[in-house]
Chain A
Amino acid sequence: MSVAAPPALSTAAERIRARLAQPPLKGKSAVVDADLPTIEADPASWPDLARRLRDDPELAYDLFLDLAGVDNLERPNSKSRFEAVCHLHSLSRNEHVRVRIRLPDASAPSLPSVCDVYPAANWFEREAYDLFGFDFPGHPNLHRLLCHDAFVGHALRKDYAAGQRWFYTENEMRTPEWARETGERAGHFETQTLSIGPAHPATHGIIHLMARLDGERIVRAETMIGYLHRCFEKMAEKHHWNQVIPYTDRLNYVSAMVNGVGYVRTVEKMLGVEVPERGQLVRTILSEFTRIMDHCVCIGANLVDIGALTNFVYLYQNRENIYSLIEACCGARLTVSYVRVGGLAIDVPPDFVARCQGLLDSIPKFLDDVEKLVTNNRIVRNRLQGTGIVTKEQAIAWGMTGPMLRASGVPYDVRRSRPYDFYDRFDWEIPVASDGDNFARYLVRMEEMRQSLKIIRQALDIFPSEGRVSSDDWRVVLPPKDAVYHDMESLIYHFKLVMEGIRVPSGERYEWIEGANGELGFYAISDGRGGPYRLKVRPPCFPNMAAFEKIVVGGTVADAIATLGTLNVIAGELDR
């Protein structure tokens, strides 16, 4: 038998191979094709590779999206126990790429830090250090990020017991080196350290900011997170594919539906299952309503923080009205668990379209009211304009996506750059602002809500009045209850799905959609069992929050509070 020729590469992978071949990279590397072009590299060549991926104009992978650790202990055929998997995006070429770095030393996994190439990598590396014990030589601040400081071991390693907790008291909390020194300055003033949070009304969710103040100006800051680290990724590894859905709802609990859609899309792509048109449209419509809800809370809470209480009540009423729709569909208000792999849990109620129409009529009025109250309000403008500025270059370097990136002048929206479901059929625009300040982000979000309404209106126009909402592939979707009671085959499918979960073929997949605050990615690895071997979320607000400590420097504490509101940080998604 002859040896099969290596499969031909896609044009993107072929181009990467050609560009990396001259001059050749130090160390071993290879380019292969998977769901994304994948570069396999040695730890030693990683900084050089990263620099070339970013700087080569033919590649220009300028957006660092994600770094996921993988422990291959229970995958016998793997080449090394630990891997670091990075995902990068090129804004100019509109392409994703995956870089897999195999760490040969299982006892002391280590790879060089690329913080100087991609500043966005900072927190991702700290996370991998925390949860996998990877060492990153050259990292400026390599401490635990998510787990508490008295934690022993590395929680996402396969040999770490999922339920092993460690005793922790206040005294063991790490205070940054610089925050402990008393800084003195010429003149009468001395800088002081202020600790804001974790229980503070303005730190949406639970976030801890240590700030060094010179008078009222912040001269140095560090954000500490992990106060809501509830082990999503470890829990996902212990459950079946469908059982993970309730956990995804609690990532970004302000827009729960979008998370579920992002997750099941990943699994559906791995399975090759198609969702019927009606199911896809329900997902789209509810996702867009959820996006509106998310922006309502973001803007409303931000305005509360700067003293404009009334708007919150107006904006929150939208949420209540949308809750009624969602409750009618699936019975839950906030954490919906409505999607399933292959479709939806149940069909929408008969008056779904009428209810949506009602919302389309009522929401713009609330938005108009808020716009009248806020947009030209002098206090709001003074507080938001010119504060929390993020330039275009900074936004890209810090790995921002979503409204943050668009408010800084980059029109990157996954719904347009890689349309999923029906987004390529709809007529809508990407709101972009150029100032990059808090006010620009407010404007972008306000306009995005109106664009979402536009999308929903078009989706309702093509919404089929009847049809399935889920696939009829019984290896994936539960058969109808009636059939389970009367038909042996359906009963077996039902039993297998409930007891063993969906059998997803071995492999890996990164799928991304536009979440309410940016690119929401799910990187899933299956080893053929009923549940994920590894599931990594790319939380959109994680890079935003990582940049917070840099944005606030130079401004006042009051500006920092206004900025935190516009970052739209949701702790459940940030800390997972």
Chain B
Amino acid sequence: MAGKGTPLPQHDPQKGPGGGADFLTTRLETMVAWARSNSLWPYPFATACCGIEFMSVAAAHYDIARFGSEVVRFSPRQADLLIVAGTVTDKMAPVLRRIYDEMPEPKWVISMGVCASSGGFYRAYHVTQGIDEIVPVDVYVPGCPPTPEQLIYAIMGLQQKIQVGEKSRDRRSAKFAAEQPT
């Protein structure tokens, strides 16, 4: 029984709580990328049916909290992942661009569903034929709407992409710069 005069466990001053050495070596970028990829704060640009499936992913059953992405922000200033869930029309397109521009760096974009990716089966007079007309996209998710598993897979894919430090936007702008006449 613990009481007055009971000694507490003794620490080895050279070792950490786990018993090993209390440090690790890595590169700063790797460390930052690890932290970023596991705390993606999504801005759900939920326009249509895919928005309902996004709700499923955020609700208790599928629970994206398991991937560190449950902090859904409705202010672009506080988000670093733009999930475009649903059809984007020409009327909405300028709004999407503005929201993308308002997000702070670094930022990533998931295009959820075929409408956002390519216009889907709305080959029509008022529908943007893919959001990559307006913003750079990191991960495209097929499906109409994609199942929650597919969206989770996309988030995991994006996490890997962030951990290796890859961004579609950089690649595209580098390609663009290379193509410009000097």
Contacts and interface: CB of A to CB of B under 8 A. Distances in A.
Nearest to B128: A165
A371 B124 CA distance: 44
Nearest to B44: A201
A155 B51 contact: no
Contacts of A320: 56, 59, 61
A230 B56 contact: no
A492 interface: no
Nearest to A337: B144
A313 interface: yes
Interface in B34-54: 45-49, 51-53
A169 B94 contact: yes
Contacts of B78: none
A231 B122 contact: yes
Given A254-B52, A313-B60, A572-B49, A230 B124 contact: yes
Contacts of A333: 53, 56, 147
Q: Give chain B's interface secondary structure class.
A: loop
A297 B53 CA distance: 12
Contacts of A165: 90, 125-127
B52 A297 contact: yes
Given A148-B91, A227-B92, A571 B52 contact: no
Interface residues of A, number: 49
A193 B125 CA distance: 32
Contacts of B164: none
B95 A163 contact: no
A19 to B, nearest CB: 42
Contacts of A571: 47-48
Contacts of A45: none
Contact of A335 (B46, B123, B144): B144
Q: Give chain A's interface secondary structure class.
A: loop
Given A163-B123, A234-B124, A228 B87 contact: yes
Contacts of A168: 90-91, 93-94
Contact of A199 (B61, B99, B147): B99
A495 to B, nearest CB: 23
B59 A312 contact: yes
B78 to A, nearest CB: 12
A306 B94 CA distance: 29
A200 B94 CA distance: 15
A178 interface: no
B55 interface: yes
Interface string A188-201: 00000000001111
B48 A163 contact: no
A230 B125 CA distance: 8
Nearest to A153: B125
A250 B144 CA distance: 10
A205 B90 contact: no
* 10 closest Cβ pairs, A-B complex: A231-B124, A253-B49, A201-B74, A148-B91, A170-B94, A316-B59, A320-B61, A230-B122, A227-B92, A313-B60
